[in-house]
Amino acid sequence: MRGYLPHYLSRLMNILNLRLLEHLRPFDITAAQFRIMQMLDARKSASIGEIARDTVIEQSVVSRIVAQLEERGYALRTKRADNARIVEVRLTREGQKVFSDLRPFFLAIVDDATSVLSPAEKQLLSELLNRIFDHAVTPRYPWLEGPPRTPTSKR
C-alpha cells in the first residue's frame, strides 16, 4: 500500500476516530452524529442535502441521524423561511451545549496529531487536503462516474 493516498488517509482517520470515540461514548454519540453536529455548529443551519454534501454521508443516512439527534433534543428541523419545501436543521441549545462540552476533546486530539508539524506545515496540509477534496468531488474522467465496471461489463 506504499504511496496509496486512500490507505494513508483511512489509517489516519481511523486512529483519530478511535480516540474521538473514547470521548463520545460517555455522551452516547456516534462518530456520524458528531460529524453532523460539527457541521451544524460551523454553519448554524443547513438542509439535509447540504449536510449530506458537506459531511459526505448519504442523504437517507443523514435523515435518520438528524431524526436521532432531534429525538434527543440536540437538533431541530424547521421549514426554510424563503422556501417552505426545504427543511432546515440546526442545533438546539442542548445540542450546542453537548457539542461545546466535546470541543476540548476533539481539539486536543487534532492538536496532538498535528503537533509534529510546524504552523506553516499545518496550514499547507489544510490547503492541500481541501484542494484534493474539491477536485475529487468532481471527477475528470468518465470512467470514474457511475457504477464500477467489471472486466466483463460494457458501457
Residue 145 CA to residue 155 CA, distance in Å, equals: 11
Residue type, 116: V
Which tens digits make up the pLDDT trace of 61-101? 999 999 999 999 999 999 988 888 888 999 999 999 999 99
Each residue of 91-123: pLDDT tens digit? 999 999 999 999 999 999 999 999 999 999 999
Tell if the pTM clears 0.85, that is, is over it. Answer: no
Domains and their CATH numbers in the chain:
5-139 (1.10.10.10)
